Structure 1
Amino acid sequence: MLQKLLLENILFLDIETVPEVADYDELDDVKKELWEHKSQYQRKEEFTAEEFYDRAGIWAEFGKIICISVGYFHIKGDKREFRVTTFHGEESKLLKDFKNLLNTHFKYPKNLLCAHNGKEFDFPYIARRMIIHRINLPYKLDLFGKKPWEVPHLDTMELWKFGDYKHYTSLKLMANILGIPSPKEDIDGSMVRDVYYGEKDLERIITYCELDVVTTAQVFLRLRNEELLVDAEIKKI
């Protein structure tokens, strides 16, 4: 039961990704051919590989992480805080900084990672990019040999499925149906590439990413039938 988990043992997270380079023309010929094959099923005959390149950030082989936002609960007596921070900058460094957090404050067996659609996207994407950068995987992301019940990952979308593997529900939809106030976001995921490469406004993306972390934590609280966080309980550090 979710109620048995201590909130302070959970690290909530979200990542934002973009294509590894700004434009398709910046890819070498080999990478262009590989991209054409990789994207063939998704784009079908509707788009050329070049036209489809703005979605390359979805795949870890052709994208990169530009920020990882994390949040965790700090509870003392009847006072509750949800502390949020973001790793950003050069990808190799932000991955190493995130790994350091996992290997220090969230290294124990009781500690869990939680993201929305994290098992399909965030967790494997981070692991793949670490391997690409020759960073040894932290225990929380190294799943080799682990039994399903030993994997230290929670996924709010998976929790909402209740065993229905065909069901996809966005974080925004879950927040709406569970009565969670919509965060004041001025962008969505489809805009991240243009904001990053066109407007060069990383801070705007970080704000969006952090709001999604807060919303994920709010969804988790509702799944436990607990009171939602209020603004005064959310602290950026």
Structure 2
Amino acid sequence: MDPATLIGVSLAFGAVIASIVMEGSSPMAVVLPAPMMLVIGGTLGAGLASSTVKDAKRAFGSIVKAFTLKLPNPEVTIETLVGLADRARREGLLALEDAAKEIDDEFLRAGLQAAIDGTDPDDLRTILEDKISTKRAQDRVSAKYYADMGGFAPTIGIIGTVVSLVHVLENLAQPDKLGKMIASAFVATLWGLLTANLLWLPLSGRLKRASDLECTQMEVALEGLLAVQAGANPRLVGERLRSMLADEPGKSAKPAKSEKKAA
């Protein structure tokens, strides 16, 4: 699991709490049910109103993924593909039937099975590229949902402040209460800014990054499968696939054992 989001959100909210304490106040001074309900409820409602129920379910279902994301390791995929390329050159493509059943990656397994079944290379590329495009589009829906909520939250916070200030103006005859009421009025703006910049927008960015990493691994698998189907040299397959990774997490500068043997 990559804990970046969990650590980042905890650090950000921790810094806010620490600054409140250092100012001589109490964190509970900003924990007011009414403005928090307005900001969070209003943001959730605006997000749903701007999308669909299906999109909302997918977006909230991705929260767990955002916090517990296991980074894909393309190097493992490359080692697998190099091994498959080596075996395919020695024994033929049909010899990979048993190996396909042992692959955990669903995308790679389905693509390899299609190649073994004799799918035309151009058709195989089209099918796999369509799967990648569909996944990327679905992931972008969830990321956009949180990005939209990050845009709504500050404005809804301002609405909450205006509502509270209206109440303040109704009580000008009680000057002893004005200070506390005005302070409470700005809590809504605070929560709007906090949730937008420390929660919704980071979630959006995290989901976009996770999607990019996963789609990169799928693209590596796609090119590798086509190379295996074409009977390419295993060493060249490894070099070609690693050149696609740039500085992606999981990339290794060392060639796989199976690649060394093939060379």
Q: TM-score range by the shorter chain?
A: under 0.3
Larger radius of gyration: 2
Query: Which structure has the highest strand share of the two?
Result: 1
Query: Which structure has the highest helix share of the two?
Result: 2
Q: TM-score, normalised by structure 2?
A: 0.25
Q: TM-score, normalised by structure 1?
A: 0.27
